[in-house]
Amino acid sequence: MNEAILTVLFYSFAAFSVLLALAVVTSRRILRAAVYLMGVLVSSAALFLMLGAEFLAGVQILVYVGGIVVLLVFAVMLTRSVELLEDRPSMIRKLTGFLAAGSFFAVSVAVLSMTQFPVLRDGARPDSNVAAIGRKLLDYGPEGYVLPFEVISLLLLSAVIGGIVIARKTAVSRATGDVEIMTEIQ
């Protein structure tokens, strides 16, 4: 009975994730696409929970949903571009996107078909040592991840600064031709 419930939950979360991912790429409103992306990431975290990887599910929620999607929503709200619609892509852009997605799918299928996945005994769980993961994240050596962690934090900081810069409105004065910064709060 327990295995049947887990199977139904897996297929439900997988279908939900695929439907929301399609909504992300087909939505013409950027704020709605961000909300759909948040749903995809939350359902991915639910799949991590089903696999017994609670730490990865927490990281998925904190980093991706809590950081990137919220940053995207703030950038949209700061730039007052909620009502903007995406242009209709040309046939060349659609074809390029389809070819890129198809090649990514083909490479993924090839890699997954060549990978030997170890089979665990019934009831066995994969090794998930949170302390070892924490040591790897804070290690300065060649096996550590401090540098990528810091680069990602700088990337997020630059995205926040870029959102603030974009949110500022500039207007050219007709009389003098000077650029004035408009700080109008509505």
Per residue in 93-140, pLDDT (tens digit) is 889 988 998 999 999 999 989 988 777 676 666 666 777 777 777 788
The SS3 call for residue 163 is helix
In percent, how much of the chain has pLDDT > 70? Answer: 77
- Between CA 53 and CA 155 the distance in angstroms is 27
Q: What are phi and psi of 2, to 5 degrees?
A: -65, -40
DSSP state of 28: S
Q: Is domain 2-87+128-182 given the CATH code 3.40.50.280 in the classification? A: no
Average pLDDT of the chain is 78
Domain ranges of the chain: 2-87+128-182
Of residues 143, 124, 148, the one with CA closest to residue 63? 148
DSSP 75-135: HHHHTT-TT-BPPPPPHHHHHHHHHHHHHHHHHHHHHHHH--PPPPPTT------HHHHHH
pLDDT for residue 185: 46
| Confidence band of 86 (pLDDT split at 50, 70, 90) | low
Per residue in 6-64, pLDDT (tens digit) is 899 999 999 999 999 999 888 877 778 888 988 999 999 999 998 888 888 888 888 88
Of residues 59, 41, 46, 56, the one with CA closest to residue 12? 46
pLDDT for residue 106: 95
| Confidence band of 183 (pLDDT split at 50, 70, 90) | very low
